[in-house]
Amino acid sequence: MKNLSKIIAAATFAVASLFTANTVSAQSTTPANAWRFGIGVEAGVPTGDLKDYSNFALGGTARLQYGINNSTAFTLTSGYYNFFAKTYSSTIGNVTYSQKGQDIGMVPVKAGIKAYTGSGFYVGGEVGAGFETNSGGSTKLILSPGVGYSWTNVDLGVRYENYSGQNFNYGMVAARLAYGFKL
């Protein structure tokens, strides 16, 4: 897991460097009455009940953003996350058995607010529902505070996302690297 985390961090830094080579200016505000759309790649580390079942989550999201004034925007985010199941091994006598658990899929639908604090930095929060795609999956309440930094066309954010409901509560600490543009 440590090597995987280092690889993800290096890849995220490399992609961010490529995106920012031509877009160095920070976006300290979001224009009032303007729409933006972004496509993002997300990577996360599961927490809570899920950390014993999965070490890593990967997904993609689309985000629609509307500026309500020059420093605040409403957001609507949806996409897909996959929580990769661990492989379990047990030994009986001289025989070792391995079995991979079933991955957990999640479709989040979240609404939120993003407030720029200056020089491209922002704080945000989202609330919504997460729909588990596995057979027998349930619907979870999502609460997600986060922070980030926006350049002209690139957004890099980090957040904690909590999923609660139906006696199986979990979450993830996640990073989102997105490319956005004006509509």
- Determine the residue type at 31: P
Asked if 162 and 145 count as a contact pair (C-beta separation under 8 A), the reply is no
Mean pLDDT, rounded, of the chain: 87
**Which pLDDT score is estimated for 2?**
52
pTM value is 0.81
Asked if 169 and 48 count as a contact pair (C-beta separation under 8 A), the reply is yes
Full set of structural domains in the chain with CATH: 2-182 (2.40.160.20)
Better-predicted residue by pLDDT, 175 or 98: 175
The predicted model gives 123-127 an average pLDDT of: 98
DSSP 26: B
Better-predicted residue by pLDDT, 49 or 23: 49
Asked if 176 and 61 count as a contact pair (C-beta separation under 8 A), the reply is yes
Percent of the chain with pLDDT over 90: 67
The predicted model gives 116-141 an average pLDDT of: 94
Residue 149 confidence (pLDDT) above 90: yes
Q: Per-residue pLDDT tens for 57-96? A: 999 999 999 999 989 999 999 999 999 999 988 888 898 8
Better-predicted residue by pLDDT, 179 or 137: 179
